[in-house]
């Protein structure tokens, strides 16, 4: 039916969103950044309910950004660059301790941004791994090299347990719904540099404004 067709996830959605993310002068469009995350969450949801606590957090953050983008001041949120400028100029970000702005765009996006580094590492290991590699190990390695340092012990523990329940490499590729293993590997080869560039531009922007540690 049309409905089940609509909901059938294809990883190409994620690729397409990240392809559209960058403007000519290397600004990051919020609309497409958020669409990329929507696709990732959709993918995560197809992996089963044990990942619910992760997807719930990501969905909450995506929703915050969408409300800002669709809200009264939405015009300031068209790119990550314009968001940072607007929120900093108007003191809309808690810079040193949690306070009046727990759901600022800058803070919220930073959480997703940190997770994007995990994604880049994980997808790259999936792309290059051998047939008998364990996705749970690849995922944990990528996590330990990146996102884990921002998480308290209890979250690291829960994440570690969830990783063990990831499907094997082949089943994982099947869920991505891209085609043969060769096609998946080719698609990843296209997606990773795009994700990596969006990550680096955001990282540099946050570093420039000294907002990489927003609480």
Is the CB of 2 or the CB of 154 nearer to ligand 1PZ? 154
Q: Write down the residue that tokens 């969103």 correspond to.
A: 17
* Residue partners of 155: CB distance under 8 A and separation at least 6: none
Of 23-31, 51-59, 67-75, 187-195: span binding ligand 1PZ (CB under 6 A): 51-59
Q: Say whether residue 147 binds ligand 1PZ (CB under 6 A).
A: yes
Is the CB of 51 or the CB of 199 nearer to ligand 1PZ? 51
Is the CB of 59 or the CB of 88 nearer to ligand 1PZ? 59
What DSSP state is assigned to residue 72?
Answer: T
Of 75-83, 84-92, 114-122, 194-202: span binding ligand 1PZ (CB under 6 A): 114-122
Of 20-28, 74-82, 115-123, 202-210: span binding ligand 1PZ (CB under 6 A): 115-123
Q: What angle do CA 164, 14, 80 make, to 5 degrees?
A: 105
Interface with ligand 1PZ (CB under 6 A), residue from 21, 58, 64, 66: 58
Cα 14 to Cα 12: distance, rounded to the nearest angstrom: 5
Cα 169 to Cα 173: distance, rounded to the nearest angstrom: 6
Interface with ligand 1PZ (CB under 6 A), residue from 10, 44, 59, 175: 44
Distances in whole angstroms, Cα of residue 214 to Cα of each of 13, 151, 184: 30, 14, 36
Instruction: By CB under 6 A, name the binding residues for ligand 1PZ.
Output: 40, 43-44, 51, 53-54, 57-58, 111, 114-115, 118-119, 139, 143, 147, 155, 159, 166
């Amino acid at each position: 039916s049309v409905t089940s067709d609509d909901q059938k996830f294809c990883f190409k959605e994620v690729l397409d969103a990240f392809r559209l993310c960058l403007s000519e002068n290397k600004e990051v469009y919020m609309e497409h950044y958020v669409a990329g995350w929507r696709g990732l969450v959709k993918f995560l949801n197809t992996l089963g309910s044990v990942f619910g606590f992760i997807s719930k957090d990501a969905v909450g953050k995506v929703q915050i950004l969408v409300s800002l983008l669709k809200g009264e001041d939405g015009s300031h949120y068209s790119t990550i660059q314009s968001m940072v400028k607007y929120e900093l100029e108007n003191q809309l970000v808690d810079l040193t301790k949690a306070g009046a702005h727990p759901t600022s765009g800058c803070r919220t996006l930073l959480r997703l941004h940190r997770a994007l580094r995990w994604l880049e590492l994980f997808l790259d290991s999936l792309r290059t791994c051998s047939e008998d590699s364990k996705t749970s190990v690849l995922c944990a390695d990528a996590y330990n090299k990146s996102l884990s340092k921002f998480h308290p012990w209890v979250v690291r523990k829960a994440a570690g347990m969830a990783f063990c329940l990831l499907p094997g490499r082949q089943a994982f590729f099947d869920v991505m719904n891209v085609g043969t293993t060769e096609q998946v590997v080719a698609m990843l080869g296209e997606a990773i540099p795009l994700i990596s560039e969006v990550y680096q531009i955001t990282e540099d922007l946050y570093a420039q404004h000294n907002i990489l540690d927003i609480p």
